[in-house]
Amino acid sequence: MRKRDSFQLTDSTIFKEALLCWSQQFEEVVWLDSNAYSGKYSSFDGVLAADALTVKVTDVQNAFEDLKEYQSETKDWIFGYLSYDLKNDVEKLSSRSHDGLEFADLYFFQPKKIIRIEGDVAYFDYLNMVDDEIQSDYKSIIDCFQNEVIEEPAKTNIRIRMRIFKDEYFRKVRQMLSHIHRGDIYEANFCQEFYAENTQIDVLKTYRKLNRISQAPFATFLKLGDKYLLSASPERYLRKEVTKIISQPIKGTAKRSFDISEDEKLKSELSSDEKERAENIMIVDLVRNDLSKSALKGSVTVEELCKIYSFAQVHQMISTITAEVATDKNPVEIIRETFPMGSMTGAPKISAMQIIEQLESFKRGLYSGAVGYFTPEGDFDFNVVIRSILYNASKQYVSYSVGGAITAKAIPEKEYEECLLKAKAMREVLEHV
């Protein structure tokens, strides 16, 4: 079904840039970049999927059943995304808030062309109908970089607005705290949107700058027609390797410092912060419960608890939870039983999602959803869509959203400061500061 060829690369970094440039001719593109991340369960350095043979696009109604049918019938690589609002297919929930982006709720495609980078080798996996294009495409990719002039985007006048202002944010966090104190929930992830209207951006240059300043392990460039995702995500939602499933939720954020001793101090303070650890452990318990729906009895294991990982912009507290599943367990069913990810919802999960829907002022859509792929063997890997810029080119609407976990010890002012810290990279990229 697919022909594979490989090419030795002299410089994989240059090849990545050229590959992304070359891919812009296609209507459907998913680029996943690990940015040389070598953490637990990392795989390829980068993978590009482009040029759809078949496509599955749907709204929330029966979305997971539609995906299950598509994945099992295709029996090939499929790439795409799951929006947060697929929660409405999993539970009796709804999404009524403002949607400025208008992304489909679910979008997957079977690419004719897949190019993976592992170390200094590029592997071309092409469907047989286009396998005679491998050599010419490799040459075109090299030519693309040689012919391209990469420039810094000029300073623009993008006017970023807030969907809610500071006072309203404080008021809504206090409402969420009242739910917590009443015992309705223990924790919920409360998010806010920043957006710009009547705005055009150079998507490739914007992504490159975001990726350069963030160097995130689950970075994504997604193009589906006129819709774009430019993501510097540090978080994995869920991965399946044969019979092992892996989730790595993030809860706990601290800024970085250029001063080495100060940076180590910030890292140490995050590691010992009782509030941040409590947030992380609550989500670990939720993820353990989610994984247990699919897992073989007694196989759910916490491999890492509240471990600190350092990225270009922030320190993050990450836990790793694994489980074993039966060999005949349907891969889409595993996702349905754990979706949406606990780090972006709260505990108890359904109550948290109901309260989130009441208090947030925008439809999350792809934000806090997941982008990734299924392999022909039924393995998969998906990130969490955070630290991301979303763009509808036809509507000229740009958006990025940030959030944080609200627990009983949350202080609205500090939660607001953490949101601004998380938003820093996206704002800098869009305003070209």
Residue whose pair of structure tokens reads 């305003």 in the numeric block: 431
Mean of all residue pLDDT scores within the chain:
94
Q: How far is residue 39 from each of residues 117, 262, 323, measured CA to CA in Å?
A: 17, 24, 18
% of the chain at pLDDT higher than 90:
87
Query: Which are the catalytic amino acids?
Result: 235, 251
Torsion sign, CA atoms 196, 394, 219, 210: negative
Q: Domain containing 258: what range?
A: 2-147+159-431
How confident is the model at residue 69, as a pLDDT?
Answer: 98
Confidence class for position 151, pLDDT limits 50, 70, 90: low
Whether 325 has a pLDDT exceeding 80, the answer reads: yes
Rounded average pLDDT over 126-133: 97
- Provide the token pair at 356: 């989130």
Residue whose pair of structure tokens reads 């740009």 in the numeric block: 398
Whether 148 has a pLDDT exceeding 80, the answer reads: no
Q: Residue 23 belongs to a domain with what CATH number?
A: 3.60.120.10
Whether 122 has a pLDDT exceeding 70, the answer reads: yes
Rounded average pLDDT over 186-201: 95
How confident is the model at residue 207, as a pLDDT?
Answer: 96
Whether 332 has a pLDDT exceeding 80, the answer reads: yes
60 falls within a domain: yes
- Give one DSSP letter per residue of 303-369, joined into a string: EEEEEEEE-SSEEEEEEEEEEEB-TT--HHHHHHHHPSPGGGSEESHHHHHHHHHHH-SB--TTTTS
Give the number of domains in the chain.
1
152 falls within a domain: no
Which residues on neighbouring strands pair with residue 317, listed in sequence order?
308
Rounded average pLDDT over 143-165: 74
Q: What is the pLDDT of residues 239-270, one digit of tens each?
A: 999 999 999 999 888 989 999 999 999 999 99
Q: What's at 351, amino acid-wise?
A: S
154 falls within a domain: no
Q: How far apart are CA 389 and CA 362, in angstroms?
A: 15
70 falls within a domain: yes
Rounded average pLDDT over 377-405: 96
Question: Residue 39: which of 310, 306, 422, 295 has the closest Cα?
Answer: 310
Whether 382 has a pLDDT exceeding 50, the answer reads: yes
Confidence class for position 65, pLDDT limits 50, 70, 90: very high
How confident is the model at residue 38, as a pLDDT?
Answer: 74
How confident is the model at residue 433, as a pLDDT?
Answer: 40
How confident is the model at residue 357, as a pLDDT?
Answer: 96
Confidence class for position 152, pLDDT limits 50, 70, 90: low
How confident is the model at residue 153, as a pLDDT?
Answer: 52
Which residues on neighbouring strands pair with residue 78, listed in sequence order?
374
Whether 189 has a pLDDT exceeding 70, the answer reads: yes
Rounded average pLDDT over 36-46: 81
How confident is the model at residue 138, as a pLDDT?
Answer: 96
Least confident range from 91-100, 155-164, 216-225: namely: 155-164
